[in-house]
Homo-oligomer: A and B are copies of this chain.
Amino acid sequence: MSKFWSEAIKDLQPYVPGEQPKKDQIIKLNTNENPYPPSPRVIQTLKDYPAEKLRLYSDPDSTELKQTLSEHFNLPSDHVFVGNGSDEVLAHTFMAFFRHPEPLVMPSMTYSFYDVYCNLYDIEARHIPLGEDFRVNLEEYPSKNGGIIFANPNAPTGVAISLNEIEALLKRNTETVVVVDEAYVDFGADSAVSLIKSHPNLLVIQTLSKSRSLAGMRVGFALGQPELIAGLERVKNSFNSYPLDMLAIASASEAIRDQEYFEETVRKIIDDRDWTSTQLTSLGFRVLPSSTNFVFAEHKSATGTDLMQHLRNQNILVRHFSKPGIENFLRITIGTRSEMEALIQGLKSFPQLSC
C-alpha cells in the first residue's frame, strides 16, 4: 500500500495469468496456446513488412483489420471493434456497458478476469452457479440485471451451450447488454455472431490468441450492432488512440485471410483433444465434454495438486485452480500429438495411475 495510490486501487485484486516459463525444454500445456505456429502467410507478411514505416503512427482505426473481419464474418465494418488482445476489448466493454445501477450477472465459474474488471470499474457482480454437468444455465439468469456476460464455450470447464439457449436469453433480455466471450468458439461451439443482426444488445468477443496462433501478437475483437461498437470506440478513444501496432494489424489481417491453414490446425487440435480425452478416461479421469483447445479433468482418486506437481517434476506444465469445487481438476491445453502422448506417459508414472 502507498499513500500515493488512489483509494480504489488499494482493493484491486489483479488477475494472475498462467506461468510463462523462460526456459525451453518444457511441455507447456498451461495457458491454452496453440501448438502450431501462425500461418506461413502471417510469417511471410511479417518478414516482408517495410519496417521503416514504423516511424509513423499506426492507423488509429485499424482499417485493414476491421475490413478483413467485416468480410470474414459478412458484417458491415461498423459492426467491428478491435483491441490489444481480447482482454483489452473486455476491459473497455465493462467500462462502456456494465457500470449500471443493477449488478452484472455472470456464471459463478468462468474466466476469472471478469471479477477483476468489476473490481477495477466498481461494478457489482452477481454470480449464478453452474448447472448440472458444469453447464452455464442461462434460464436461471435474473431479468433484473445491469448486463450479462458468459464465455461460450466456458472456461476453465471447456463446456459449450447451444445457440438456442443463447437466443432464448436474448429474447427475454432486451434492455441490457449481453456479452458472449467466444475465445474458444472455433474449437467446436456454435458462434452467436449469426444472432447479431436481430439483437442490438448482443456483443460477441473473440481473439486471435487461440485458433489463429497469435497469442504473442495481442489482437482481439468484438462484433455487434453499431450502437454497441460506437460505445466501445468512445472508451477506446478516451484511453489510447492507437491500441494496435502496425505489425499486429498486418499479421492479424493475414491470419484471418488464411482460412485453409486455420481449418487444418483447428482440425488437428480437435482430433488430438478427442484422443487425449479417451486416454484420460481410461486412466480413471472424469473429462468434461470439451469444445475448446483444452480439457478439464479430475481423477477419481488422485488430487489435482499432486498430479500437477507430478507432471511439473517431468517438465510438463498444466493449470490447476485451487477454487473449491474444482480443486481436483486439471486444465490441460491440447498440444501436438507427441506432447499429449508425453502427458499421458507422465500421468501413467503417478503411483495411483500406474496399473
Task: Specify which chain B residues have a CB less than 8 angstroms from the CB of A56 in the assembled complex.
Answer: 20, 28, 33, 215-216
Query: In this complex, what residue of B is CB-closest to A61?
Result: B20
- Asked if A264 is at the interface (CB within 8 A of a chain B CB), the reply is no
Q: How many copies does the complex hold?
A: 2
Whether B242 lies near A17 (C-beta < 8 A) is yes
Are B9 and A234 closer than 8 Å at their CB atoms?
A: yes
Residues from chain B with Cβ under 8 Å of A176 in the complex: 4
Most buried by B among A31, A54, A85: A54
Give the docked Cα–Cα distance between A37 and B49 (Å): 13
Are A5 and B97 CB-contacts (below 8 A) given A51-B46, A52-B43, A245-B245?
A: yes
Given contacts A87-B241, A120-B238, contact A216 B57 (CB under 8 A): yes
Chain B residues near A354 (CB-CB < 8 A): none
Asked if A9 and B95 sit within 8 Å, CB to CB, the answer is: yes
A247 cross-chain contacts in B, Cβ below 8 A:
46, 216-217, 245, 247
Instruction: Kindly state the separation between the CA atoms of A176 and B3 in the bound complex, as whole angstroms.
Output: 8
Binds B, one of A186-194, A225-233, A275-283, A323-331: A225-233
CB of B120 within 8 A of CB of A87, answer no
Q: Are B240 and A84 in contact (CB under 8 A)?
A: yes
Identify A34's interface contact among B55, B227, B233, CB under 8 A.
B55
Interface pair B245/A216, CB less than 8 Å apart: yes
Residue of A35, A47, A84, A216 with most partner-chain B CB within 10 A: A216
Q: Tell me whether chain A's interface is mostly helix, strand or loop, or mixed.
A: loop
Does A119 count as interface, using CB distance less than 8 angstroms? yes
Q: Which residues of B contact A227 (CB under 8 A)?
A: 2, 4
User: In this complex, which of A7, A60, A91, A176 has the most chain B Cβ atoms within 10 angstroms of its Cβ?
Assistant: A60
B35 and A55 contact, CB distance less than 8 A? yes
> Of B36, B57, B88, which contacts A17 at CB under 8 A?
B57
Chain B residue with minimal CB distance to A101? B7
Interface positions, chain A 95-125, Cβ under 8 Å from B, are 95-100, 116-117, 119-120
Residues of chain B contacted by A6 (CB below 8 angstroms): 95-100
Say whether A38 faces chain B, with CB atoms less than 8 Å apart. yes
Distance to closest chain B CB from A87 (angstroms): 4
* Distance to closest chain B CB from A166 (angstroms): 17
Kindly list the 4 A-B residue pairs having the minimum CB-CB distance in the complex, ordered from nearest.
Answer: A14-B237, A37-B52, A6-B99, A54-B216
Given contacts A16-B237, A216-B245, 6 further A-B contacts (CB under 8 A): A4-B227, A5-B231, A9-B234, A36-B55, A43-B51, A88-B243
11 intermolecular pairs with C-beta atoms under 8 Å apart: A4-B200, A6-B95, A14-B233, A16-B237, A20-B59, A34-B55, A43-B52, A46-B46, A46-B51, A54-B217, A87-B239
